Chain A
């Protein structure tokens, strides 16, 4: 546990920048939105900036990337196949705890199952995570309902908490501790931890106003969806509201479905590209020949929330597939972001029609 003066906080980023490409939150002046992108000028990093518009998922799982390239001239000519694994040291500076949880979900899914995803493993190999405790929630946040905030509890190398004039710096790994020692950071005392805890308590109390609708209902709704008690009427409504734009999947820190396609140039070399995909698209499950087992939109929508609220728990991440960042609610033009769906399931369960 260490302390660093607020004005000096970028010395940590600076120290990391010699070994890592730094990614951090910066406010884009024209739109006023925050983006978590590669940073060249460390002065752009703004730890007080609102939650980034898109999660840093793309750092470990880019929207489009080449996974291998090949060249084949036909006939008995040999096929040259080259895998394209990208090992680039990256430091995520000022990550929110929901987004860290999103990356942990991806880790469990891509690395923690029978087949380890090599492409992902290379992205993830050399990373340094600096998290930033949310001392105040943002408009759409509900991480308190999904066990993923407002402060990160594990999985970081360093965790920063704004405690007034100082940041409390906690190390969560040997390389985090080494960096603090190298920078000769001042040691923190018990009272500083107490200050952190009181700031977290205050932050949680501010969630009350924001997330009363979905607070504590996510876990009950998970149970409903898992046991098959969610009413069909909810899925029909959700299907009617869905515009099949796929935005919810793309802004979700834990959504990881991908498509694979080969793209060739006139010279005969081809790239195998993997790109984000969304289960809301009609073509997602359509087979060659046209047969589509998930043709109706409510079938597909139902599966997304089943994935987030039930399947993720049992088979993918061993936790809810939702990390409570609220981005899907923010971007959805049909008002069927996850907290809203939780609300509809609850509302339908207590529908007055049964009286």
Chain B
């Protein structure tokens, strides 16, 4: 588990060191906490999230794409609301506030020895990146590792450099598809679940991580279940409107649970019992 510092109530300032354009409206912000003592003891677990303050605009919940080990701390954020728009205006050298890390995180010990399938639609690859890189760093502990990434167009493919690394990494099977090709695109065209046959998807001793927009999520889950994958072997991470991150404001309530403290990582078996829309 996570024994590092947890910043609960008062944000700690962090300086943006570098900003990288990913795809349209999505940027990656590399940063470190200004208090070096806290920065050193600030340890995340793959699948957790933080609350990020853009000073003068507000605070938003955001997943953590870096691996817990040997990875540079960063956030990858799409500009979609007023606070994330303000974040996109910032330059390297500007400061933001950080609280966290919060949430349960992906199971790591429980899935050792199994085949792992990652199915990511669009920016759904951002929260899964942490787990993918973590598994890559411990590849010998796992069976087949398959990364399937679908995006609307070739321009919408996330983490293009990482995808190249993963495609070249021995033992990783990385496949990419787009809904609509552009001139010059020679890769796969079709929704992400159409890749299942191509990769000869394992079912026995397999865990699938699924993340993406609700319509993609529902299609992929239905297809996985049809192929015989059990609902407790499908893992996802949910997104909700959040204000406090610590189980008090109740905005992220879903069924009997709170996404901030009981989630954000759920198995599909759990999601089914919550009785709410994704």
Contact = CB atoms under 8 A, between A and B. Distances in A.
Contacts of B53: 262
Contacts of B58: 260-262
With a 10 A CB-CB cut-off, give which of B34, B60, B239, B241 has the most chain A CB atoms.
Answer: B241
Contact of B241 (A78, A110, A285, A314): A285
B250 A279 contact: yes
Interface in A100-149: 109-110, 113-115, 117-119
Contact of B10 (A75, A81, A291): A81
A284 B10 contact: no
A288 interface: yes
B248 A72 contact: no
B276 A258 contact: no
A202 interface: no
Contacts of B9: 67, 83, 118-119
Contacts of B253: 279, 303, 307, 311
A76 B261 CA distance: 34
**Which residue of B34, B59, B95, B97 has the most chain A CB atoms within 10 A of its CB atom?**
B95
Contact of B94 (A74, A83, A115, A277): A74
A68 B239 contact: no
B247 interface: yes
Interface residues of B, number: 42
Contacts, number: 108
| Size class of the A contact interface (CB-based, 8 Å) | 35 or more
A259 interface: yes
A79 B13 contact: yes
A270 interface: yes
A294 interface: yes
A287 interface: yes
B56 A284 contact: no
The DSSP consensus for interface residues of chain B is loop
Nearest to A68: B10
Interface centre among A74, A268, A279, A314 (most CB of B within 10 A): A74
B226 interface: no
A264 interface: yes
B250 A113 contact: no
B1 interface: no
B88 to A, nearest CB: 13
Contact of B81 (A76, A272, A288): A288
B70 interface: no
Given A284-B241, A287-B241, A291-B214, A81 B97 contact: yes
A43 interface: no
A293 interface: yes
A114 B258 CA distance: 13
B10 A315 contact: no
B153 interface: no
Given A72-B95, A81-B97, A291-B214, A259 B243 contact: yes
A55 to B, nearest CB: 18
B8 interface: yes
Contact of B278 (A75, A293, A307): A293
B222 interface: no
B249 interface: yes
Interface string A47-85: 000000000000000000001101010111111010100
Contacts of B80: 288-289
6 nearest CB pairs, A to B: A288-B81, A115-B246, A72-B55, A79-B13, A293-B277, A289-B80
12 contacts: A72-B13, A72-B55, A76-B15, A79-B34, A117-B248, A258-B249, A262-B58, A285-B241, A291-B214, A293-B277, A307-B250, A311-B256
Given A70-B55, A260-B59, A293-B276, 9 more contacts: A72-B95, A76-B95, A77-B95, A79-B55, A117-B248, A261-B58, A289-B80, A293-B277, A293-B278
